[in-house]
């Protein structure tokens, strides 16, 4: 049986004053939870911003469920959702207005959109605030609104860049549960995080990126096999970063 | 226990913040541009001496006891200046009330918070006064050069007006806060600031139109009726004019009034000002309104983009004051149009360029908010819509608003002269479209809250927008009055647009 790829990145390159992403190859299977780890400045965010269509690559190919994202960005975007660590939402809209706007942008049926918006808001503990303008929200609440926006149009691929930043423990648990529920329903999630425990508990596969290159990839067990049975993900991560920093 | 920080230290701290804020305004956040900005400012100030010479040169040799008509004109001019300063002070004080910035730090620190806010208000007084001194300096220079050093007293009058305007602004805003509460005061204060800034000038123009059939604001001031109604030359009403003419006693009294007024206002308000600012900034941060607004329900992608822009423009807390003044200035031409209905040929020539100019200016502001001021940039960029389609929706919203605002002014013209109405409509469309195009060529990534600073972000765009609006206004007037040269004016305006497009970041790349 052929394995369906949610994301295929081939030879991706982006250079600012130095190479940020350097001939990166990455494949994420449909329906898996993929955690992308790496030290600060490793190129994680740059990679994901290129995949989401926010940054043009210098070279390389990006395919989302077989659609060439560089040739047909609109079709690729129709299947994706993007959430970054700095929630950029409209201060003057209420969460329900924001979600209905997002649903309309993605062309979701009005009746579906309304139901989905209420479900997502309830799932993230925002139901009581759905008619309040976002300008008064804490960073955590804004992050939840942004995340709700990513979920409301039922994307096949959700890309999250540090989505748990600023969330309290209860909210973080809500978000993690919601993401796992989506994965169980067949959605693909790619997430960067500095919280290794989250990657360890939630991810089907983990990729480690250092200096713009993928230096290790696999399930937690596969990665442990590289560093010894007793090694924690933190031990493995630190060792990988140190080795590759020396090599670079 | 509160720590008593030395006042000079607090003043220095606030002055440093105010200075850096001003530098950021002048240089669009790039301090390396400061030298260039200062040079540009000096050149503009030097050039302003030419219109100043034309406007006030004739008054420089005025005797220290002028006739009643001159007294009325001078007092009227001072009142206009005071109204504008009061308008600016109300907006500054309101901004200070609603800014969160370092409030958490200050409120949580062991210092006497009343002192900090008093000094902050004093800084506003200084800023308002400094701005007025800069604006009026060319006029005073002309008076001093042509009439002698006695006119240096005019600087003292400007300082006194600045202090008085700030005192009045603090008192007014505090009263508004008590009357309307923290949620509504921001809007009410903006409307009040715009009305005060424009009311006196507009009032004079409307009175001029109604009584003398002219838009000149000096028609009423120089009339026999005004001179007859004015009090005798010894009245205290003329003290500001006497101070302007170099009367030391009047000037001292004026300065004392300003200082005492500011001191008393601050003393009266200082006890509650900390609470007021804390409430206002908390509301600014946490404003929550309930309502089952189903704005986006059952809309297509394109309609959703339209509606989002319209909703955000409607809810913009500072847009009102920025545009209300522009729209208020359309009232006198509208009255003029109404009064001159029997002789529309003359009226249209005068009214059309005003309407066209206002359309360009309003379109520029709206286009910046919709095109550059996109707060959820990532969301829009990752939405399954082409960038061109998003941009088209944004531009359409700007043009729709321009059409909605200016149609009621242009449509009445069609009843009397369809051809003149067509010229006005075309002028509005061209000025609106040109200003929008300039904002498109010079688009940048910004937050909507940076709207106030949009004019310093790209001076090239600001000048291009102003020249284009003036160009289309002149063209429309010339089409009606001197059609032979209208083509040249249109060609010049198109050239301005072509240069702007070439120099814009999109054209350079």
Q: Are B422 and B430 in contact (CB under 8 A)?
A: no
Mean pLDDT (whole number) for B141-150: 89
- For residue B1, what pLDDT is reported? 43
Question: pLDDT, tens digit, for every residue of A166-178?
Answer: 788 888 888 888 8
* Residue B140 within a domain: yes
Mean pLDDT (whole number) for B336-349: 60
Q: Which residue of B has its CA nearest to A55?
A: B381
Mean pLDDT (whole number) for B209-216: 66
Cα B37 to Cα B16: distance, rounded to the nearest angstrom: 19
Model confidence at B202, pLDDT cuts 50, 70, 90, reads confident
Q: Which of A50, A58, A69, A52 is nearest to A16 (CA)?
A: A58
Verify that B67 and B160 share a domain, yes or no.
yes
Token pair recorded at residue B441 = 């060529």
Model confidence at A32, pLDDT cuts 50, 70, 90, reads very high
Mean pLDDT (whole number) for B246-259: 93
> What is the strand order of the sheet A5-15 is part of?
A19-29, A5-15, A59-64, A67-68
Q: Say if residue A214's pLDDT is above 60.
A: yes
Q: Which residues pair with A5 in a beta bridge?
A: A29
Verify that B78 and B211 share a domain, yes or no.
yes
Model confidence at B105, pLDDT cuts 50, 70, 90, reads low
Q: What is the CA radius of gyration of chain B?
A: 25
Cβ contacts of A78 within 8 Å, gap of 6 or more? A106, A107, B384
Verify that A243 and A159 share a domain, yes or no.
yes
- For residue A248, what pLDDT is reported? 60
Token pair recorded at residue B357 = 């100019």
- Give chain B's mean pLDDT: 81
Mean pLDDT (whole number) for A6-22: 91
Q: Which residues pair with B489 in a beta bridge?
A: none
Tell me the nearest-neighbour CA distance from A4 into chain B, angstroms. 22
Mean pLDDT (whole number) for B208-216: 66
Verify that A221 and A167 share a domain, yes or no.
yes
Q: Which of B252, B285, B318 is the last residue of a domain?
A: B285
Q: Say if residue B156's pLDDT is above 70.
A: yes
Which DSSP category does A54 fall into? S
* Residue B440 within a domain: yes
Write out chain B residues lying below 8 Å of A131, CB-based: 289-293
* Residue B327 within a domain: yes
Verify that A55 and A115 share a domain, yes or no.
no
- For residue B323, what pLDDT is reported? 74
Verify that B229 and B305 share a domain, yes or no.
no
Return the percent helix, strand and coil in chain A, to nearest 5.
40, 25, 35
Share of chain B above pLDDT 70, in %: 80
Count of structural domains, chain A: 2
Model confidence at B201, pLDDT cuts 50, 70, 90, reads confident
Verify that B227 and B94 share a domain, yes or no.
yes
- For residue B157, what pLDDT is reported? 94
Q: Say if residue A47's pLDDT is above 90.
A: yes
* Residue B291 within a domain: no
Q: Which residue of B has its CA nearest to A114?
A: B297
Mean pLDDT (whole number) for B107-119: 69
- For residue B271, what pLDDT is reported? 67
* Residue B292 within a domain: no
* Residue B59 within a domain: yes
Verify that B351 and B426 share a domain, yes or no.
yes
Range of the domain at A132: 89-154
Q: Say if residue B303's pLDDT is above 60.
A: yes
Cβ contacts of B178 within 8 Å, gap of 6 or more? none
Verify that A38 and A115 share a domain, yes or no.
no
Per the model's pLDDT, the better-predicted residue between B366 and B334 turns out to be B366
Check if A106 contacts B (Cβ < 8 Å).
yes
Verify that B333 and B412 share a domain, yes or no.
yes
Question: pLDDT, tens digit, for every residue of B4-37?
Answer: 556 777 777 777 777 777 777 777 666 677 788 8
* Residue B341 within a domain: yes
- For residue A247, what pLDDT is reported? 61
Verify that B328 and B200 share a domain, yes or no.
no
In order of B293, B374, B404, the CA distances from B397 in angstroms are 20, 14, 10
Residue window 303-342, chain B: list those with CB within 8 Å of chain A: 303-305, 307-308, 311-312, 315-316
Mean pLDDT (whole number) for B183-201: 80
Tell me the nearest-neighbour CA distance from A228 into chain B, angstroms. 41
Verify that B197 and B229 share a domain, yes or no.
yes
Model confidence at B212, pLDDT cuts 50, 70, 90, reads low
Range of the domain at B434: 301-508
Question: Which of A4-18, B293-307, B449-463 comes out lowest in average pLDDT?
Answer: B449-463
Model confidence at A1, pLDDT cuts 50, 70, 90, reads low
Q: Say if residue A50's pLDDT is above 50.
A: yes
Cα A102 to Cα A105: distance, rounded to the nearest angstrom: 5
- For residue A28, what pLDDT is reported? 96
Question: pLDDT, tens digit, for every residue of B260-280?
Answer: 999 998 888 766 776 676 666
Check CB contact under 8 Å for A89 and B375: yes
Plot region of A24 (φ>0 → left; ψ -120 to 50 → alpha; else → beta): beta
Q: Which of B259, B285, B311 is the last residue of a domain?
A: B285
Write out chain B residues lying below 8 Å of A110, CB-based: 297-299
* Residue B42 within a domain: yes
* Residue A84 within a domain: no
In order of A199, B372, B452, the CA distances from A218 in angstroms are 12, 42, 51
Q: Say if residue B124's pLDDT is above 60.
A: yes
Is the CA virtual torsion B350, B353, B359, B365 positive or negative? negative
Per the model's pLDDT, the better-predicted residue between A246 and B485 turns out to be B485
Share of chain A above pLDDT 90, in %: 46
Q: Say if residue B353's pLDDT is above 80.
A: yes
Q: Are A233 and A196 in contact (CB under 8 A)?
A: yes
Q: Output the pTM of the full model.
A: 0.68
Verify that B279 and B311 share a domain, yes or no.
no
User: DSSP strand E in A92-242: where?
Assistant: 157-161, 188-192, 205-210, 213-218
Q: Say if residue B281's pLDDT is above 80.
A: no
Verify that A162 and A73 share a domain, yes or no.
yes
Q: Which residues pair with A157 in a beta bridge?
A: A80, A188
- For residue B17, what pLDDT is reported? 75
Count of structural domains, chain B: 2
Which CATH number belongs to the domain containing residue A215 in this structure? 3.40.50.300
Q: Are B177 and B276 in contact (CB under 8 A)?
A: yes
Mean pLDDT (whole number) for A111-126: 87
- For residue B287, what pLDDT is reported? 47
Verify that A107 and A162 share a domain, yes or no.
no
CB pairs under 8 A between A and B: 108
In order of A10, A36, A48, A63, B21, the CA distances from A22 in angstroms are 11, 16, 14, 18, 41
Verify that A142 and A159 share a domain, yes or no.
no
Which ipTM value was assigned to this complex?
A: 0.74
- For residue B216, what pLDDT is reported? 65
Verify that A13 and A31 share a domain, yes or no.
yes
Cα B24 to Cα A30: distance, rounded to the nearest angstrom: 49
Verify that B274 and B213 share a domain, yes or no.
yes
């Amino acid at each position: 049986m052929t394995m369906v790829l949610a994301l295929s990145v081939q030879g991706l390159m982006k250079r600012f004053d130095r190479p940020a992403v350097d001939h990166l190859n990455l494949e994420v299977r449909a329906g898996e939870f993929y955690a992308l780890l790496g030290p600060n400045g490793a190129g994680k965010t740059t990679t994901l911003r290129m995949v989401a269509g926010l940054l043009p690559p210098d070279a390389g190919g990006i395919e989302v469920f077989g659609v060439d994202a560089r040739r047909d960005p609109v079709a690729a975007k129709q299947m994706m959702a993007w959430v970054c660590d700095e929630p950029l939402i409209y201060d003057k809209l209420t969460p329900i207005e924001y979600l209905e706007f997002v649903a309309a942008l993605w062309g979701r049926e009005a009746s579906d959109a309304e139901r989905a918006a209420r479900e997502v808001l309830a799932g993230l503990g925002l139901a009581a605030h759905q008619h309040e303008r976002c300008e008064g929200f804490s960073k955590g609440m804004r992050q939840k609104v942004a995340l709700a926006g990513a979920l409301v149009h039922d994307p096949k691929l959700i890309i999250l860049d540090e989505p748990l930043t600023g969330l309290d423990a209860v909210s973080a648990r809500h978000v993690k549960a919601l993401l796992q529920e989506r994965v169980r329903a067949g959605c693909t999630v790619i997430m960067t995080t500095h919280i290794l425990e989250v990657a360890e508990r939630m991810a089907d596969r983990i990729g480690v990126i250092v200096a713009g290159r993928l230096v290790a990839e696999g399930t937690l067990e596969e990665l442990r096999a590289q560093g010894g049975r007793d090694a924690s993900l933190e031990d493995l991560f630190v060792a990988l970063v140190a080795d590759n920093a020396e090599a670079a | 226990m509160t720590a008593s920080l030395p006042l000079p230290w607090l003043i220095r701290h606030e002055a440093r913040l105010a200075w850096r804020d001003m530098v950021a305004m002048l240089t669009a956040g790039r301090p390396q541009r400061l030298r260039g900005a200062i040079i540009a400012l000096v050149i503009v100030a030097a050039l302003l001496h030419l219109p100043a010479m034309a406007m006030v040169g004739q008054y420089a040799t005025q005797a220290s006891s002028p006739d009643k008509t001159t007294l009325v004109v001078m007092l009227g001019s001072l009142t206009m200046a005071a109204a504008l300063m009061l308008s600016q002070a109300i907006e500054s004080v309101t901004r200070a009330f609603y800014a969160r910035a370092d409030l958490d730090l200050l409120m949580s620190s062991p210092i006497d918070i009343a002192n900090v806010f008093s000094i902050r208000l004093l800084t506003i007084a200084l800023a308002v006064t400094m701005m007025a001194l800069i604006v009026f300096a060319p006029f005073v220079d002309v008076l001093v050069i042509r009439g002698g050093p006695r006119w240096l007293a005019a600087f003292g009058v400007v300082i006194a007006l600045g202090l008085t305007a700030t005192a009045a602004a603090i008192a007014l805003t505090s009263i508004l806060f008590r009357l309307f509460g923290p949620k509504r005061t921001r809007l009410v204060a903006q409307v009040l600031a715009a009305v005060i800034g424009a009311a006196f000038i507009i009032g004079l123009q409307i009175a001029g139109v109604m009584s003398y059939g002219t838009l000149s604001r000096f028609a009423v001031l120089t009339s026999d009726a005004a001179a007859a109604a004015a009090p005798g030359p010894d009245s205290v009403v003329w003290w500001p004019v006497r101070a302007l003419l170099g009367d030391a006693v009047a000037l001292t009294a004026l300065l004392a009034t300003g200082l005492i007024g500011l001191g008393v206002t601050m003393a009266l308000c200082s006890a509650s000002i900390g609470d007021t600012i804390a409430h206002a900034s908390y509301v600014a941060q946490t404003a929550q309104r309930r309502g089952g607004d189903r704005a986006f329900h059952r809309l297509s992608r394109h309609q959703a983009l339209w509606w989002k822009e319209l909703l955000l423009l409607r809810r913009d807390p500072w847009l009102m004051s920025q545009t209300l003044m522009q729209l208020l200035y359309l009232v006198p031409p509208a009255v003029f149009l109404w009064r001159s209905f029997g002789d529309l040929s003359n009226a249209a020539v005068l009214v059309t360029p005003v309407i066209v100019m206002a359309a360009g200016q309003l379109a520029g502001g709206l286009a910046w908010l919709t095109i550059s001021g996109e707060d959820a940039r990532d969301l829009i960029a990752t939405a399954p819509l082409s960038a061109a389609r998003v941009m088209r929706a944004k531009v359409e919203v700007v043009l729709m608003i321009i059409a909605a605002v200016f149609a009621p002014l242009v449509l009445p013209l069609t009843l009397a002269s369809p051809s003149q109405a067509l010229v006005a409509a075309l002028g509005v469309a061209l000025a609106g479209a040109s200003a929008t195009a300039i904002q498109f060529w010079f688009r940048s990534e910004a937050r909507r809250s940076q709207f106030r600073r949009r004019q310093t972000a790209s001076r090239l765009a600001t000048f291009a927008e102003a020249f284009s609006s003036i160009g289309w206004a002149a063209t429309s007037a010339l089409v009606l009055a001197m059609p032979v040269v209208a083509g040249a004016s249109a060609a010049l305006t198109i050239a301005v647009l072509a240069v702007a497009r070439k120099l814009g970041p999109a054209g350079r790349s």
